[in-house]
Amino acid sequence: MKNISIMKMIKTRRAAIQDLPSLVEINKSDVEEWHHFSRGGRGAAASYDELTGWERVVHGGPWEDLHALRRHWPHMERVGIICLVAELDGMVVGHLDVIPTRELGLGDYLFLDVFMVHRSYRRRGVGTALLRAAEALAAEESLPRLVVMTDYNEAGGLTYRSYRFEPFHELCALEAEIGSPSVPTGVMITDPPLEPPLDSHRMVCGWWNTSTKNWMGSFEHDEYELMLDWKKVLLGLDTGSGVTYFKLASGYPARPPFGLCMWTPPDTDAATLSKAVQAARSVARSMGAEALTTIALEKDRGLLEAAGFTYKRRCDPLLHKELGI
């Protein structure tokens, strides 16, 4: 009865810019120990106030620093991210970022992105209230399902599964060595459009997030990425059998493997994809990469292996909840 009473006291709504300090406090509460960082990686333990802004960001993204989150907020709006917040006792104590999404081959859905409840307010129904708010928003937008990427057997996955989320698509990790490739004869490198080609291309690999967020993030280079010397590029490849788009991004701390996202026409075959992958490897080599890593739907594994990738491991699946819309 106590939990039911608390649930009735929780209010959910869309976040406003005035909520940003509360969002930072929520995410700060999840960090057990703060550390100094350099381009080489983690350093000595430190207090939050001793850290620079970009050191805070490394602990969990722009949600860990107010200045960074204020700069990130317009990008969230451009991508179409909607931040839902939960209030209890007059305080914002949790948030769930969601993205109305369309993926060729997967259809329309509401993607659940960053989900965090303040450590002092967990196990009080805040997370459930936010998931219900997401479900209501999906119904409002006529989106038939919720989809999330999470650790299946960890706390996040257990939370979603208790809310009746089920496996949607199996995912796998793959890798390709760079070697000394050149752009194949007849393949032309082109500039990509500013908006992702959601109606004509599907994301064949690079399932770190939605196509829209992966794509739009390619055009953003904030001060923290520059400080960390991150590298990323988005290009088109005209293979003679249509245009394939690819994004390359280095990680932190600086590592030779680069992450790869690729968008292809739905009927792309292994021979055409092989040309695109070879061209992407050539560009990656010029950026200092020694290998390409990616995440793909298990159903596309054979196509990517035929194009030069090697299977590395099984990943946790995409989860979804059908809403019956």
Mean pLDDT by 10 residues, the chain (325 residues): 63 97 98 89 93 91 94 92 95 98 95 96 94 97 96 88 95 94 92 95 96 90 64 92 93 73 96 95 92 97 97 97 90
Parent domain of 100: 2-143
Q: What pLDDT score does 255 carry?
A: 57
DSSP-derived secondary structure letter, 40 = T
Q: What is the pTM of this model?
A: 0.92
Closest CA to 210 of 132, 265, 146, 154: 146
H helix or E strand, kind and range, residue 61: none
109, 231: one domain? no
Q: What's the 3-state SS for 252-267?
A: CCCCCEEEEEEEECCC
Is 117 found in the same domain as 181? no
DSSP state letter for 193: P
Whether 57 is covered by a domain: the verdict is yes
| 66-79 helix and 20-28 helix, angle to the nearest 10 degrees | 110
> Do 189 and 271 belong together in one domain?
yes
- Tell me the CATH number at 32: 3.40.630.30
d(CA 3, CA 8): 9
Task: Please tell me whether residues 181 and 291 are part of one structural domain.
Answer: yes
Residue in the block written with tokens 């739009």 = 216
| CATH number, residue 296 | 3.40.630
Q: What is the pLDDT of residue 154?
A: 86
Of 91, 124, 143, the residue that ends a domain is 143
Closest CA to 138 of 161, 165, 156: 165
Q: What is the pLDDT, as a whole number, of residue 191?
A: 95
Provide the pLDDT for residue 325.
Answer: 76
Tens-digit pLDDT profile for residues 158-187: 999 999 999 999 999 999 999 888 999 999
Q: Name the domain count of the chain.
A: 2
Hey, what are 72's tokens?
């990130």
